[in-house]
Chains A and B, each alone.
Chain A
Amino acid sequence: MTLYVVRRAALLVVSLLAASVLIFLVLRLLPGDIAQTIGGIKATPAQVAAVRHDLGLDRPLAAQYADWIGGVVTGDFGRSVLDGTSVSGQLAEKFAVTGPLAVGAVVLALAFAVPLGIVAAVRRDSRLGGAVNALGQFGIALPTLWVGLLLVVVFAVQLRWLPAQGFPVDGWAERGQALRSLVLPWLALALSEGAVLLRFVRSAVLEVLHQDWLRTARAKGHTRTGALVRHGLRNAAVPVVSVLGLQIAALVAGAVVVEQVFVLPGVGQMLITDVGNRDLDKVQGEILLLTGAVLVIGFLVDLAHRLIDPRLRSAV
C-alpha cells in the first residue's frame, strides 16, 4: 500500500507538470493577445507592439514557460497583467462563491439521490421504484440553464421569494443575503447532479442485489434490507464514489452555466472573462490550480477505492 501511494504520488507530480505544459501551449494557440486588449481599437500597431515588448510577450515561449513554472514551484501562481491582482487571491475570492455553490449542490444532490436511488433499486418492480426512477430520468434530461431560467421567472420575478440574480457586494459579510442568492443556483445545479447520482446509486445497488453473497446473507437469516445495509452498501459505494470523482469536472462545467444564468461572480465567470481579455498569465495559473485540484481529488478517490474494495489492494 505504501509503495502504491508513493508511486501514485510521483505520477501525480508528473501529471501536474504535463498539465502545465499542455495548458501553457494550448493557451498560446488563442488568436490575439493582451497587448491588443490594452491598446483597444484606437492604438496604433506600433503602440501595441511597444506594449507587447514591455510585457515580454515577444520572448521565446520556452523562456516564458520557464518564468511561469519557476514561480509556480515557489508557490507564486502569477498575476493579472491587466490589474495586477494575484491569481491565488482572485481564485480565493471567486471560490468563496463557486465553492459553496458546488459543495452545497453536491450535498443537496446526495441528500436526495442516495435514499431515492436505494428505494428505486430495492423496490424496482413496484410502482414507487418506477416513479422514482422516472423522476431521475426527467431530472437528468432537463437542461440546467433552462431550469435556472424558469426558477428565476417563477420564484424571483413572480413570487419575489428570492433574488433574481447576483451576489451581495459585501459577499459573505451579508450572510443571509448571500445564502438567499445561492438557493436557486443550488436547486438548478442539484437537480441534474442529483439525478445523475440517483441513476448510479440505483444501478450500483441493483448490481449488489444480484450478487451471490447477498443471497447467501439472506439465506443466513438477514432480511433483504438488513443484508443490503450490512454488506451491500459498502460494495455499492465503489462505483458511486468513482462517479462522484468524475462528476467534479462536470460540476465545474455546470457551475459555469449556473453562474452565467444567475450572474454570480464565481470561478467560471472569471475564467471566461480572463480568456476573453487574453490575460493568459492569470488564466494559466487559474486552470493549473483547477486541474491540479481535480487531479488531487482523483488521487484521493483512487486511494478511497482501495480502502473500500479490498480486492483492488493487491492489484496494480
Chain B
Amino acid sequence: MTVSRALLKSRSGSAGLVLVGLLLLSALVSLVWTPYDPTLARPRDGWLLPFSGGHVLGTDRLGRDELSQLLAGARGTLLTALLAATIAAVVGLALALAAVLVPRWIGAAVVQLTDVLIAFPVLLIAMILTAVYGGSTWTVVTAVGVGAGVNLARVARAEAGRVLNTDYVLAAHAAGSGTWRTVRKHLLPNIAPTLVVQLSLVLSVAVLAEAALSFLGFGAPAPAVSWGRMLHEQQQYIAARPLLVIWPGLAVAASVLGFNLLGDGLREAADARLRIREAR
C-alpha cells in the first residue's frame, strides 16, 4: 500500500489534503487572478459591506478588496510555512543526528547548544532580526524556522536515542551493520513518523507564528499581503467591522487545521506501512 493511497483512505488525511489543497489553489489562483488589486487603496470605497460595489466580502478601511487580500494572503502564508518548515527540518535533523552519532563530548556540546537555543525566545530572535534587517518574510521565516528547528532537534534526539537503544537496533549493530546503514535502515524509518508529525506541526506553528509576529508589528510590510498582516491591521476595528477580522482568522485556522490533519494522515499511513513491513 503506498503512502498516498493510505493517506486518501484515512479520514483526517483526506480532510487535510482538501484543506491544504484549497490553500494551494488559492495561492495559485492569486498568481494569475484576483478580483481586484489586493493592495489598491481607494478610501472612498472604504468599509463597504459584503456584496456591495462588486466586492464579494466587502472592503477594509482603505477600500482594499477583502477577497483579493485573502487570496493573495494565501500565497504569503504558504510561502512562510514551507520555508520555515524547510529551515526547521534541516536545522532539526542536523542537530539531532549530530547529537547521537558523533563522539560523545561533541554530542554533549551540541545537546547543550540546542538547549540554550530552545531557551531563547523565538519572539526575541524575530524582534532582533526585524530591528536589524527590517520586517520581511525572511526575518519571520528565519526566526520561526530556527526556533522550531531546535525544538524539533530535541524531540528527534530523544526519539533517536530511544530507537538506537531498542533491541533490534542493538542486534543489527552487533550483527555488523554500519553506522550509516543503521541510520538509513533503522533510525530514519523509525523516527520518521514522529518527525512527520512534528513537521506538520511546524507548518502550522509557522502560520500561527506569522500571524502573531505580524500582530505584534514584526511582520512583513507593504506591499506584501499576508493574513497575519490583515489581522494586525483589522483587529483595531473588530468592534465596527468584525467580519474583516473573522475572515483572515478563519483562513489561518483552516490552513493550520489542514496541515495538522495532513500530518495525522501521514503518520497513520507511515505507521501502517511500518507495521506491514515489520510483519513481513
Contact = CB atoms under 8 A, between A and B. Distances in A.
B is a partner of A: yes
Interface of A: 11, 14-15, 18-19, 22-23, 26-27, 29-31, 130, 133, 137-138, 140-146, 149-150, 153, 157, 203, 239, 242, 246, 249, 252-253, 256-257, 260, 268, 271-272, 275, 287, 290-292, 294-295, 298, 311-312, 315-316
Question: Which 4 pairs, one residue from A and one from B, show the smallest C-beta to C-beta distance?
Answer: A294-B119, A146-B249, A141-B256, A141-B257
Given A30-B128, A143-B252, A144-B212, A246 B119 contact: no
A143 B108 contact: no
B220 interface: no
B93 interface: no
**Interface residues of B: mostly helix, strand, loop or mixed?**
helix
B231 A143 contact: yes
Contact of A141 (B115, B124, B131, B253): B253
A291 B252 contact: no
Interface string B210-249: 0110011000000000000001000100110010011001
B261 interface: yes
B24 to A, nearest CB: 17
Chain A CB within 10 Å, residue with most, of B119, B155, B212, B261? B119
Interface in B142-168: 151, 154-155, 158, 161, 165
Given A141-B253, A143-B211, A246 B235 contact: no
Interface in B106-139: 108, 112-113, 115-116, 118-124, 127-128, 131-132
Given A27-B128, A203-B197, A290-B121, A143 B249 contact: yes
A249 B119 contact: yes
Interface of B: 11-12, 104, 108, 112-113, 115-116, 118-124, 127-128, 131-132, 151, 154-155, 158, 161, 165, 197, 204, 208-209, 211-212, 215-216, 231, 235, 238-239, 242, 245-246, 249, 252-257, 260-261, 264
Given A142-B253, A260-B216, A295-B116, A316 B132 contact: no
B133 to A, nearest CB: 10
Given A153-B238, A157-B239, A253-B123, A146 B245 contact: yes
Contacts of A272: 127, 216
B151 to A, nearest CB: 6
Contacts of B104: 316
Given A15-B112, A137-B261, A153-B239, A260 B121 contact: no
A145 B252 CA distance: 12
Interface centre among A19, A27, A133, A138 (most CB of B within 10 A): A19
